[in-house]
Every structure is written in C-alpha cells, then in structure tokens.
C-alpha cells in the first residue's frame, strides 16, 4: 500500500512540475534604446544590437537590431 501511495504522489508531483512548461506562451517584448540625454537609437543611426538572455541559463531567447525613428528634438 505504501509503495502505491508513494508512486501516486511522485506521479502527481512530476505532472505538477511539468505543468508550467506545457502552459508556456510566447511573450511579445518591445525594447527601446535611448542614448544618455539624447534621442532614441533608431534605423538612421544604425540601430543597436539587442540580445535577451535567460538570466539563469544564459540561453539567448531573442536577438535583433533596433529600428524605427529617432524622434523629434
């Protein structure tokens, strides 16, 4: 009886711990790059290379170059 209870508890624990991975959804992230006391770094300035990494593993989650206008000054 104890072995069946242990197996059931272990199975439930594993399913609960994996539940978050199956429920994961993509997230849209917007990054704005601004020079100190200056305009936004846009397409006309060559853009800025942005890399978003997982803070725990260092895995690259997204990478790209900023684009768009620098704004009016």
Read off the pLDDT of residues 23-66 as tens digits, 9 standing for 90 and up: 667 888 888 777 777 777 777 778 788 899 989 999 998 998 88
What number of other Cβ atoms are within 10 A of residue 17's Cβ? 9
Q: Is residue 28 part of a domain?
A: yes
Q: Is residue 33 part of a domain?
A: yes
Q: Is residue 70 part of a domain?
A: no
Residue scoring higher pLDDT (70 or 56): 56
Q: Is residue 71 part of a domain?
A: no
**Confidence class of residue 10 from pLDDT cuts 50, 70 and 90?**
confident
- pLDDT of amino acid 58: 92
Q: Is residue 44 part of a domain?
A: yes
Q: Is residue 73 part of a domain?
A: no
Number of domains in the chain: 1
- Report strand pairing: 49-53 vs 60-65: antiparallel
Q: Is residue 19 part of a domain?
A: yes
Residues in the chain, total: 73
- pLDDT of amino acid 2: 72
* pTM > 0.85: yes or no: no
Q: Which residue is it, tokens 């990494």?
A: 53
Q: Is residue 72 part of a domain?
A: no
Supply the range of the domain harboring residue 24.
2-65
- pLDDT of amino acid 20: 65
């Amino acid at each position: 009886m104890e072995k069946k209870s242990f197996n059931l508890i272990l199975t439930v624990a594993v399913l609960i711990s994996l539940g978050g991975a199956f429920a994961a959804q993509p997230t849209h992230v917007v990054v704005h790059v601004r020079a100190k006391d200056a305009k936004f770094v846009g397409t006309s300035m060559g853009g800025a290379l942005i890399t978003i990494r997982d803070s725990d593993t260092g895995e690259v989650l997204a990478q790209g170059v900023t684009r768009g206008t620098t704004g009016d000054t």
